[in-house]
């Protein structure tokens, strides 16, 4: 079966794509992308991602989730998530459960300027665990952010009995990644990994059966000052192939198989 490329983590509902979404979709299809696993960061995005799922059946695979960082008031910096940010989201998870391929983007971000206090970290953990519980209840995988919190993110998911997870743009230590591999989790890498060799050791140590491809578009492209797009998934594929000493075709096929094992509801329409 030709799965094509599976972009396991992208923000296709982001405002950056509003003006030319159709062209972005066409470029993705021309590059061989067959599935866009579309994540959200907050409840205000939920209706948009579900609308795109209706507009592009079989291509857009929707996830709903509340990110550990939220936008503050217009013009202000991002802030750490609060438990009340989840209130409006919880009923939506259940209402739209049949449409979802995963709960995401959820996770922990303990970067000091994003979560400066213990209360911030406690609030993030509270929101994370509540969403892990929803995923377990609905028998859905999770699409996870883990910045400056790799070890605790993986440990928390294991404690909560999560068996299917994607750790996106993973930048933790190889030893921590291998704990996730033991738990059966997958790891994905965006085109930004091509900018330097920092992730090479990590990519080499994670078994190919646990690697997926992502763009995290519109962010994390080859050039940090330019909008990233799903069609750039080919860059991640080539880079991982190079690091692993495999052909790009092998990496494309294996990562797509991994993605469909992780997100079995993708491509069902």
Does residue 90 contact residue 66 with C-beta atoms inside 8 Å? no
Domain extents in the chain:
5-262
Q: Which residue has the tokens 């992502």?
A: 214
What pLDDT was estimated at residue 91? 97
Distance (Å, rounded) from C-alpha 256 to C-alpha 211?
A: 9
pTM strictly above 0.85:
yes
Average model confidence (pLDDT) for the chain? 95
Does residue 116 contact residue 157 with C-beta atoms inside 8 Å? no
Confidence of residue 74 (pLDDT cuts 50, 70, 90): low
Question: What would the DSSP string read from start to end of 68-81?
Answer: SEEE-STTSPEEE-
What pLDDT was estimated at residue 268? 64
Does residue 101 contact residue 63 with C-beta atoms inside 8 Å? yes
Region for residue 220 given its phi and psi (left: phi exceeds 0; alpha: psi -120 to 50; beta: otherwise): left
Beta strand segments in 72-114, E: 78-80, 102-109
Distance (Å, rounded) from C-alpha 42 to C-alpha 227?
A: 21
5-262 has CATH 3.40.50.1360 classification? no
The residue with greater pLDDT, 115 or 269, is 115
Distance (Å, rounded) from C-alpha 242 to C-alpha 93?
A: 39
Distance (Å, rounded) from C-alpha 17 to C-alpha 19?
A: 6
What pLDDT was estimated at residue 71? 84
Digit-coded pLDDT (tens) for 209-224: 999 999 999 999 999 8
């Amino acid at each position: 079966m030709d799965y094509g490329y599976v972009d396991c983590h992208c923000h296709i509902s982001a405002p950056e794509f509003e003006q030319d979404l159709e062209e972005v979709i066409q470029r993705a299809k021309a590059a061989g992308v067959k599935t866009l696993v579309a994540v959200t960061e907050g409840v205000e995005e939920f209706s948009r991602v579900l609308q795109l799922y209706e507009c592009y059946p079989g291509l857009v695979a929707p996830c709903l989730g509340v990110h550990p960082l939220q936008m503050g008031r217009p013009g202000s910096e991002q802030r750490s998530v609060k438990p009340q940010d989840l209130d409006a989201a919880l009923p939506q998870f259940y209402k739209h459960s049949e449409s979802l391929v995963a709960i995401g983007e959820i996770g922990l971000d303990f970067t000091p300027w994003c979560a400066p206090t213990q209360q911030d970290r406690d609030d993030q953990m509270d929101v994370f665990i509540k969403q892990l519980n929803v995923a377990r209840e609905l028998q859905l995988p999770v699409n996870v952010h883990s910045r400056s919190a790799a070890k605790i993110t993986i440990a928390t998911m294991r404690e909560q009995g999560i068996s299917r997870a994607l750790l996106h743009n993973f930048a933790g230590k190889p030893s921590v990644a291998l704990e996730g591999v033991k738990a059966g989790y997958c790891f994905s890498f965006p085109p930004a990994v091509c900018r330097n060799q920092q992730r090479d050791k990590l990519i080499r140590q994670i078994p190919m059966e646990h690697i997926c491809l992502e763009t995290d578009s519109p962010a994390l492209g080859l050039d940090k000052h330019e909008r990233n797009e799903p069609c750039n998934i080919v860059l991640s594929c080539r880079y991982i192939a190079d690091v692993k000493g495999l052909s790009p075709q092998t990496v494309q096929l294996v990562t797509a198989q991994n993605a469909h094992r992780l997100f079995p509801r993708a491509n069902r329409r």
